[in-house]
Every structure is written in structure tokens, then in C-alpha cells.
Amino acid sequence: MDVKTPVPIIALDVPDADGVLALLERLGRGVEFVKVGLQLFTAEGPAIVHALRGSGIRVFLDLKLHDIPNTVAHAVKSAIELDVELLTVHASGGAAMLRAAADAAAGSPLKLLAVTVLTSLDDAGLAQAWGRGAVTAEDEVARLAALAKACGIPGAVASVRELPAVRRAAGEEMLVLTPGIRLAGDAAGDQSRVATPAEAARLGADYVVLGRSVTAAADPAAALARAIAELSSGPAGN
């Protein structure tokens, strides 16, 4: 498989705008793409997105929309107005919701990503949540990615472990964003399905979210440089 260089996205998992400024200062120059998730968006709202876009930073709005089709469609339209590049919806919201989201985004630059199975869930936790005795994350990720593609969603969110399964189920053209990225030797924390940046590159991720391994490091700038080097070179020997 050809090694591609995934696009790195820095997770701004901080409580407020002051935290954003402090983190960006510690990371130094070169941060081009960031994730705004539930914590930050709940605290600061659209203003933080406007501020980031005004600084020329690309934004992935990770709100994991999961509601009735009409509500999700209107939320997608609002995200388009914010000029964000990526937006997440939950694949488990169902076909009608996914189609409504896709229709709302049609003709705009916004790319929708369908969240398949959260990387905090292992097979046992997923079986408990789904109410089924025998279930694997890989099977469910593949099934939900195929559903999303059939409904017009151009991308999926999955751990690196399921990336080959997504490609088999939804095709090489399906964009894949991989969270749960950890530098070698770092603790997994509350994540169950993790991988290194090199593994993400080797398996062909389009985007990777760089979170605590970088942002909580003693030297975030050095950790970011290490992660980007891995993304660019893939595993040792490539």
C-alpha cells in the first residue's frame, strides 16, 4: 500500500479562548488545522470559530451531531456559515438523518464525516451499548461507514485499527479521519483503540487528530514535531 501523508489536526480540547491562545503559543508556528469540540464550542460558541478562521486556521468542528433529520440539517447549514472545513455527524443517527445532513451540505465546501464507533469503546463496551451479545468494533465500523457512504456522506471517523475495514466496505475514495492517536510509549488514557502516527500513515488515513500526546506533553512543540515526522515518514523502514 502506498504511504500517504495524513493531514494533522490539533485538538483544542481546552476550556476556553484563553486556553486556546495559551496552547497555540506553546505549540509555536505551523499549526494550520485545529479541532473545535464540544467542550470549547459549548464554552465559547461560534465566536471561537470566527476567531480561528480570521487567523487563517482551518477548523474541524467536532460536534458529533445526532438528532432528528430536520434539526441536523439546520445545524449543518449553520456550520457552513461558520466556514468550517469538516463537521461530524453520528452514523448511528440513521439513514434519514445522514441523508438530510448530506443534502444540507450539498454544493458547499463543507465535508461531513460520519462517526462510526467512538475510540473509547472496546468490543465489550460496544456490545453493552448496542444490546447485543456478540459484536466487534471492526464489523460495526465497517457497517456504519458503508451506510454513511450510501447516504452521501463523504467521510468517516474510525480508529486506525478499522481503517482497512472502512476501505473494504466504503471504498478507497471514502475520507477517513482517525482519532485515538498516541506517540509510542504514551498512555492510552480513556481510549481503547489507539495507534501511532506512523501506523495511521501506513494504513492510509486522510486526517489524524493529535490530542493529548501532543497537547498535554511537557513540550507540546517537540511532541508535535515528532508526530508530524512520523506522519511524513510512516513506520521505520519505509
Catalytic residues: 64
Determine the Cα–Cα distance for residues 52 and 58; give it in Å rounded to an integer.
7
- Which residues share a beta bridge with 155? 113, 175
DSSP 43-75: HHTHHHHHHHHHTT-EEEEEEEE-S-HHHHHHH
- Residue 86's closest CA among 65, 49, 116, 111? 111
Cell of 196: 501511532
CA dist., res. 143 & res. 221, Å (int) = 38
d(CA 25, CA 22): 5
207-210/86-90 β-pairing: unpaired
Q: End-to-end distance of the chain based on CA atoms, in angstroms?
A: 11
Strand (E) or helix (H) holding 223? helix 220-233
